[in-house]
């Protein structure tokens, strides 16, 4: 399952680390504000070497691919939204690449429209 969230990083939280039964661990969370009519703030966690690889900073517009995982501990359930890929959105882009227009301009009056399928 590929879940992607697009938005702006509102806050990068303090990195946490510790020692578990499988050895040392590191994690860092960041808050991504999604886009649309009803924006939401989502806390996303990045683990281990992904912290350095992604280098997330406040104010960046990102496309984040996530896995959602829940686990039970002493009768309570905890859910993580874990980033496994982070892409930076090009400045000024609106989902299109390099200066493309969403629709081609109509032909000038008197100019033939040869790209019709019939």
pLDDT one-digit tens code per residue, 69-114: 999 999 999 999 999 999 997 654 444 333 444 445 556 665 555 5
Please tell me the predicted confidence (pLDDT) of residue 94: 45
The residues, ordered by sequence, that sit 6+ positions from 32 with a Cβ below 8 Å of its Cβ are 5, 7, 8, 9, 10, 41, 42, 44, 62, 64
Please tell me the predicted confidence (pLDDT) of residue 97: 37
Please tell me the predicted confidence (pLDDT) of residue 100: 42
Per-residue pLDDT of 29-80, as tens digits, reads 999 999 989 999 999 999 999 999 999 999 999 999 999 999 999 999 999 9
Please tell me the predicted confidence (pLDDT) of residue 2: 75
Please tell me the predicted confidence (pLDDT) of residue 108: 60
Angle ∠(70,25,77) on CA atoms, nearest 5: 20
Domains and CATH numbers, the chain: 3-84 (2.40.50.140)
């Amino acid at each position: 399952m590929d879940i992607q969230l697009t938005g702006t990083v509102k806050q990068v939280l303090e990195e946490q680390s510790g020692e578990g039964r499988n050895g040392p661990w590191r994690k860092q969370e960041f808050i991504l504000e999604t886009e649309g009519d009803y924006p939401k703030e989502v806390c996303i966690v990045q683990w281990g070497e992904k912290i350095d690889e992604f280098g997330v900073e406040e104010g960046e517009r990102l496309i984040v691919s996530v896995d959602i995982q829940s686990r039970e501990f002493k009768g309570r359930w905890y859910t993580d939204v874990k980033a496994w890929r982070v892409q930076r959105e090009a400045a000024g882009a609106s989902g299109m690449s390099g200066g493309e227009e969403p629709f081609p301009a109509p032909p000038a009056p008197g100019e033939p429209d040869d790209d019709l399928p019939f």
